[in-house]
């Protein structure tokens, strides 16, 4: 998969993209990621890419010229606008995007982007009902979620199926050593060696947690 990122702040991506699962994926050449500064595509000497909104109002809006220029050079690809008024991101969307060969992320900033930029867009994505300074951090969230679902990225493929949301339910409680920590003990069933009982216990706990915290997910939960 090829991933291109259009941003005003390339430095925000350098650390996260060079660590953990994402680094493993790029080292194995399963993913190639390139970052582009939107200002480099400005058609003016001052590299000005934003301006005041027509009709008045606070903040600045990203102009369309640089975004169109940059995106059209990178096409063909699936163009994603990270925006707080986009469709809410979830695991189903991550799996959908992971099957594509080329993703192009546009990271909005300031007061958003000129509405005409949406003529380029295939997906508009938000990661939650809150506002961040820009689309860079949300883009990293989506990229991480997508990359980990690509075959060969995770060391243990079964890790993916145990992730929260994979079956539309939250994850079950996890324990490791020590068996007794400050009087808090690992549930005996996890020490029993009975894998069927352990599987049933984990499913029950996952369902209970989902019912408590995300009951709407249970409508689409798989039985497996």
What domains can you pick out in the chain, each with its CATH number? Answer: 2-147 (3.40.1280.10), 164-220 (1.10.1270.20)
Confidence bin at 155 (pLDDT 50/70/90): confident
The 10s digit of each residue's pLDDT in 104-133 is 999 998 889 999 999 999 999 999 999 899
Question: pLDDT value at position 163?
Answer: 57
pLDDT at 162 over 60: no
Return the HEC string of the chain.
Answer: CEEEEEECCCHHHHCHHHCHHHHHHHHCCCCEEEEEEHHHHCCCCCCCCEECCCCCCCCCEECHHHHHHHHHHHCCCEEEEEEEEEEECCHHHHHHHHCCCEEEEEECECCCECHHHHHHCCEEEECCCCCCCECHHHHHHHHHHHHCCCCCCCCCCHHHHCCCCCCCCCCCCCCCCCCEECCEECCHHHHCCCHHHHHHHHHHHHHHHHHHHCHHHHHHCCCC
How far, in whole angstroms, is CA 144 from its chain's centroid?
5
Q: Check whether the bond before 24 is cis (ω within 30° of 0).
A: no
Question: pLDDT value at position 40?
Answer: 94
Q: Residues 152, 30: contact at Cβ < 8 Å? A: yes
Residue 37 φ then ψ, to 5°: -85, 120
| CA-CA-CA-CA torsion sign (127, 141, 110, 77) | negative
Instruction: Say what the pTM is.
Output: 0.87
Question: pLDDT value at position 165?
Answer: 59
The 10s digit of each residue's pLDDT in 48-103 is 899 999 999 888 999 999 999 999 999 999 999 999 999 999 999 999 999 999 99
> Who contacts 25 (Cβ-Cβ below 8 Å, separation ≥6)?
31, 147, 150, 153
Confidence bin at 47 (pLDDT 50/70/90): confident
Residue 109 φ then ψ, to 5°: -155, 175
Of the candidates 143, 38, 138, which has an alpha carbon nearest to the alpha carbon of residue 85?
138
Question: pLDDT value at position 219?
Answer: 81
How far, in whole angstroms, is CA 93 from its chain's centroid?
9
Q: Cα separation of 119 and 124, whole Å?
A: 11
Question: pLDDT value at position 60?
Answer: 93
Q: Cα separation of 204 and 77, whole Å?
A: 42
Confidence bin at 157 (pLDDT 50/70/90): low
pLDDT at 5 over 80: yes
User: What is the percent of the chain with per-residue pLDDT over 70, rounded to a whole number?
Assistant: 92
């Amino acid at each position: 998969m090829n991933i291109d990122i259009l941003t005003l702040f390339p430095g925000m991506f350098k650390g996260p993209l060079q660590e953990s699962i994402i680094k493993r994926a790029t080292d194995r050449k399963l993913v190639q990621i390139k970052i582009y500064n939107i200002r480099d595509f400005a058609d003016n000497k001052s590299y000005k890419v934003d301006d005041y909104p027509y009709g008045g109002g606070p903040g600045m809006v990203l102009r369309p010229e640089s975004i169109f220029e940059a995106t059209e050079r990178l096409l063909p690809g699936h163009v994603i606008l990270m925006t707080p008024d986009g469709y809410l991101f979830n695991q189903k969307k991550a799996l959908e995007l992971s099957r594509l060969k080329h993703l192009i992320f546009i990271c909005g900033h300031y007061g958003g982007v000129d509405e005409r930029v949406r003529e380029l867009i295939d997906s508009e994505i938000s990661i939650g009902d809150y506002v961040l300074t820009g689309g860079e951090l949300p883009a990293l969230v989506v990229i991480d979620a997508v990359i980990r679902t690509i075959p060969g990225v995770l060391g243990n493929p079964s890790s993916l199926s145990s992730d929260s949301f994979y079956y539309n339910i939250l994850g079950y409680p996890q324990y490791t050593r020590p068996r007794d920590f400050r009087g808090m003990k690992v549930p005996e069933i996890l020490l029993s060696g009975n894998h069927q009982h352990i599987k049933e216990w984990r499913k029950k706990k996952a369902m209970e947690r989902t019912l408590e915290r995300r009951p709407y997910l249970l409508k689409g939960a798989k039985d497996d």
